[in-house]
Amino acid sequence: MRDTQLTDRRPYIIRALYEWMIDNDLTPHLVINIDVPSVIVPIEYSSNGQIILNIAPNAVDGIDFKKERISFSTRFQGVLQHILLPPVSIIAIFARENSEGMVFENHIDTGNAHFPPPLHEYKNATKNKIILSIIKKDDTGQPQKEQVPHQADNKKKLEINNNFPGLRLV
């Protein structure tokens, strides 16, 4: 037995299951943890820190399985997006037709790296009274800055101001 550490088997299993699904005329989907560093996906289509992606050949272009990443291009509501997924971000691969596939263990080896809490766990801003500044044009075409105050007691007001997909709290 070797003393060296083995490479991660997840990218090999994902590629093998993908090929098996395609060979059997199934539609492969990936469940992605968007909170893993280096994940590039359109977060406005995510829910609870996850996004499900159809990776069938008719849904993606240029899919590339490598040990360190899976990448491809696809369209979301007609807009071309480039997707980049470290294998460790993939929670599961499954076929839409029969749910055959595999769920991977949740453990992510991050070494000594410190990551902020997952995006979906942020509830309220803590230090500043201003959460967000929105720049929009008024009727004359002049930019106007609108301040959105922190409203801890008024959840309804927060929900109204939470309609800005694609904004990430960093």
Segment 44-73, tens digit of pLDDT: 999 999 999 999 999 999 999 999 999 999
Same domain for 83 and 59: yes
| SS3 (DSSP) at 108 | coil
Counting the structural domains of the chain, the total is 2
Work out the average pLDDT over 136-164.
48
Same domain for 155 and 78: no
Same domain for 135 and 72: no
Report how far residue 13's alpha carbon sits from residue 8's, in angstroms, rounded to the nearest whole number. 10
Q: Give the structural domain span for 131.
A: 123-160
Q: Under a CB-based contact definition with an 8 Å cutoff, are residues 41 and 49 in contact?
A: no
Residue 112 within any structural domain of the chain: no
The domain that contains 89 carries what CATH number?
Answer: 2.30.30.220
pTM of full prediction above 0.75: no
